[in-house]
Amino acid sequence: MLLKVPDVLTPDELQQARHLLATAPWTDGRASAGSQAALVKNNAQLPHACDAARALRPMVLAALDRQLAFFSACLPKRVLAPQFNRYGGGSNHYGNHVDSAIRYQPDNGQKVRTDLSCTLFLSEPQSYDGGELVIQDTPEPQRFKLPAGHLLLYPADRVHQVTPVTRGERLACFFWVESMVRSGAQRQLLFDMDTALLQLRAEHGENAATVALTGTYHNLLRMWADT
Ligand code: NI
């Protein structure tokens, strides 16, 4: 599933993030790429242990907790520690690549299977040229350049790229989610059902049918979830 989640960060949080990132100790993004990805990667990333990354990670994780659609779509089991990147100047693109299937939590080495990829845009789209996230899809690739504070959620098994930033700079937060439900098709069914149930409740209130369908939702989750 490809899902846009709007307004994950508030304007105040965005301002704080950009303030911290303006003076952060950026390093070469190739250090964290797999061998295929390193050949096409040319951006800057924040070291995990720097002050800015330490301050911003909890802000992003708390913001995600406020997003019911994010939870419903991901059914997260583990969220890999959010990271931060910058595209601009001489380090301005990331060619077509796939993300590694297994990554490790920096603090404790715990393995995380990357089922879903997330990009949280931190720069306003009009402040830079290029820098589109392009995700291979059928029949055509899909291109994304979302407003600051909005998040894109997409399947981690897709070939994708960030096109060259030719003016300004593109700041983003990115991370991966391991879902309790491994199958993307099953996750999509659960998300569709949950979304429709929310709509039914909003229009008609709780009734015997919504209670029964909620039970079916949880029974499917019980059948498919690995906690
Ligand atoms: Ni990637």
Q: What are the pLDDT digits (tens) for 179-219?
A: 999 999 999 999 999 999 999 999 999 999 999 999 999 99
Gap between the Cα atoms of 200 and 21, Å rounded? 43
Q: How many CB atoms lie within 10 A of CB 46?
A: 26
The pair of structure tokens assigned to 42 is 């040319």
Ligand 1: distance of its center to the CA of 162 in Å?
8
pLDDT at 143: 98
Ligand 1: distance of its center to the CA of 33 in Å?
9
Given a cut of 90, whether residue 178 has pLDDT beyond it is yes
Ligand 1: distance of its center to the CA of 63 in Å?
22
Ligand 1: distance of its center to the CA of 36 in Å?
11
Angle at 77 between CA 76 and CA 79, to 5 degrees: 70
Average pLDDT over residues 57-62: 98
Gap between the Cα atoms of 143 and 86, Å rounded? 18
Question: How deeply is 84 buried, as exposed, middle or buried, from its count of CB atoms within 10 A (0-12, 13-18, 19+)?
Answer: buried
pLDDT at 148: 98
Q: What is the pLDDT of residues 130-168, one digit of tens each?
A: 999 999 999 999 999 999 999 999 999 999 999 999 999
Ligand 1: distance of its center to the CA of 211 in Å?
40
Ligand 1: distance of its center to the CA of 96 in Å?
8
Q: How many CB atoms lie within 10 A of CB 73?
A: 23
Gap between the Cα atoms of 134 and 45, Å rounded? 19
**CB under 5 Å of ion ligand 1: residues:** 99
